[in-house]
């Protein structure tokens, strides 16, 4: 993963975390390491949700595209997330500051 890609992802993570922290019923926690299938845990009224945050830079042809799979550049593998890995995606677009939610079942 390039440092540019990592930076873009970090911007999205911080934007989503900032958005979630505005709600008094939500507690946000982060794993200690980067090697977990989820980026944050959201505690909403005592229920825990594993969330993977995905960020895109641009809107192309009126579409925001997000990669919703796990890519390992060292092993050159690509795996789809399952409900064993996460409960939902939270999506962020740099161009329009969009924050959205996508359930893993969708």
19-23, 71-75, 101-105: lowest mean pLDDT where? 71-75
| Residues forming a β-bridge with 90 | 53, 101
pLDDT in tens, 82-98: 899 999 999 998 888 88
Residue of higher predicted confidence among 30 and 58: 30
Separation between Cα atoms, residue 65 and residue 51, nearest integer Å: 18
Under 8 Å between Cβ of 50 and 28:
no
- What is the model's pTM? 0.84
Per DSSP, the three-state class of 69 is strand
Separation between Cα atoms, residue 21 and residue 50, nearest integer Å: 16
């Amino acid at each position: 993963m390039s440092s540019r890609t990592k930076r873009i992802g970090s911007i999205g993570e911080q934007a989503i975390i900032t958005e979630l922290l505005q709600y008094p019923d939500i507690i946000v926690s982060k794993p200690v390491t980067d090697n977990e299938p989820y980026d944050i845990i959201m505690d909403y009224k005592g229920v825990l949700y594993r969330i993977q945050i995905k960020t895109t830079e641009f809107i192309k042809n009126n579409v925001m595209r997000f990669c919703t799979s796990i890519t390992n550049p060292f092993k050159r593998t690509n795996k789809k997330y399952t409900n064993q890995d996460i409960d939902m995606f939270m999506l962020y677009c740099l161009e329009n500051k969009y924050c959205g939610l996508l359930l893993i079942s969708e």
